[in-house]
Amino acid sequence: MIKKSFFVIEKNNGKVTKLPYSSIKEYLLLDLKTKIEKGEIKLRCECSDEIELKISNAKSPYLYNATRQYKHSKDCCRHPEFVGSSPYEKAWSYDEEKGIHIVRIEGIYYATQLPEIKKTNNKVKNNVIYHEGIGSNKGVSTVFGLATKINMMAWEGMVLGNKQRIPIDKYELAKHVYGIASRIKLSSKRKTLNEMFFKQVNIRTVKVKKDVYFVYMYVDHNRLIEEDILHDKTKKDILYCKDAFGKTNRFYVEKEEFEQKKRIEPHSSEYVVAGFVHKEDLYHKCMTLYNYCLIPVSDRGLYSESSH
């Protein structure tokens, strides 16, 4: 049986409460930390009586082993080589010492397409939560799976965390997304997703297909996709987006692919565009969205799974 929980043991009466790692919130961790400091409780992992847990003093608290003497068993979700039971779980792991979630994601440059997506439009990528794949790609998250998880983590962090309130608007949630991204790292990159966030850059200094940035912005639904005429007289479609501060950004997209992604998730008039951008050509004036998804969201920025 897979171990996915830890125990809270009350020292005065020996009462044991079992809590799942997956849904533990910051406010609860802080409450448990206070009780540990008062000597009222102790925490241990479900996988071993020898593994006592402590809670970090970091801004975003997390559980870690009180000593390195003992290791989690391989059937425990806290083991670094744990691969889980579902395709979604297999895409994620957790670095206890750093408190960072690590995600195995589709090739950043060339995304693997699902057969059922190919049938509808062979240019559509990533509007699914995960895929199992084959061989070394088994248990790999899509960009859509990554982006929705970040969105949910940010929402839970605000509503159930220290703030314990609903964000004022979508831009406030987007600012929280940036903070959450500091706790997520792609398995193929040294930097956290936070460090890969797209900021205003001088496009001339960006290396073609070398410098990769992560985008999490709101599609400007008040502006249609426009055409840009390049130096060689070819045309590129430009998408307008707004960052967490409401500033306008421009990215090249393929209009047909963008519209197809919207048709797949027609649950809202508001969308987050999330994914990776790079400079596709030496003479391009904008970064290009090349492996991205669209997430329909409410006016507060929360992912909308349906039009209701």
Name, in order, each residue with C-beta under 8 angstroms of 134's C-beta and a sequence gap of 6 or more.
none
Q: Residue 83 has what pLDDT? A: 65
Interaxial angle between packed helices 170-180 and 143-159, expressed in degrees from 0 to 180 and rounded to the nearest 10: 110
Flag whether 45 is in a domain.
Answer: yes
Flag whether 212 is in a domain.
Answer: yes
Q: Residue 4 has what pLDDT? A: 87
Q: Residue 77 has what pLDDT? A: 83
Q: Residue 189 has what pLDDT? A: 86
Give how far the C-alpha of residue 88 lies from the chain's centroid of Cα atoms, to the nearest Å: 13
Under 8 Å between Cβ of 225 and 255: yes
Per-residue pLDDT reduced to its tens digit, 78-111: 887 776 666 666 778 777 677 788 888 865 433 3
Q: Which of 65, 87, 110 is the last residue of a domain?
A: 65
Q: Which of 40, 65, 90 is the last residue of a domain?
A: 65
Q: What is the domain range of residue 204?
A: 196-297
Flag whether 10 is in a domain.
Answer: yes
Q: Which of 13, 30, 65 is the last residue of a domain?
A: 65
Q: Residue 286 has what pLDDT? A: 92
Q: Is the dihedral of CA 45, 51, 52, 54 positive or negative?
A: negative
Flag whether 23 is in a domain.
Answer: yes
3-class secondary structure, 87: helix
Q: Of 170, 180, 216, 214, nearest to 59 (Cα)? A: 180
248-282: b or e for each residue (b if 16 or more CB lie within 10 Å)? ebebbbbeebbebbeebbebbebbbbbbbbbbbee
- Residues of the chain short of pLDDT 70, as ranges, are 59, 83-89, 96, 106-139, 161-163, 306-308
Q: Write the Ramachandran bin of 184: left for phi over 0, alpha for psi from -120 to 50, otherwise beta.
A: beta
Flag whether 230 is in a domain.
Answer: yes
Please report where in the chains the tokens 């020292």 appear, as a residue: 11
Q: Residue 244 has what pLDDT? A: 94
Flag whether 293 is in a domain.
Answer: yes
Flag whether 225 is in a domain.
Answer: yes
- Which residue type is seen at 188? S
Q: Residue 288 has what pLDDT? A: 93
**What CATH number corresponds to the domain at position 255?**
2.40.50
Please count the structural domains in the chain.
2
Q: Of 14, 82, 88, nearest to 44 (Cα)? A: 14
Task: Using a cut of 0.85, tell me whether the model's pTM lies above it.
Answer: no
Flag whether 208 is in a domain.
Answer: yes
Name, in order, each residue with C-beta under 8 angstroms of 53's C-beta and a sequence gap of 6 or more.
6, 43, 44, 45, 63, 64, 65, 66
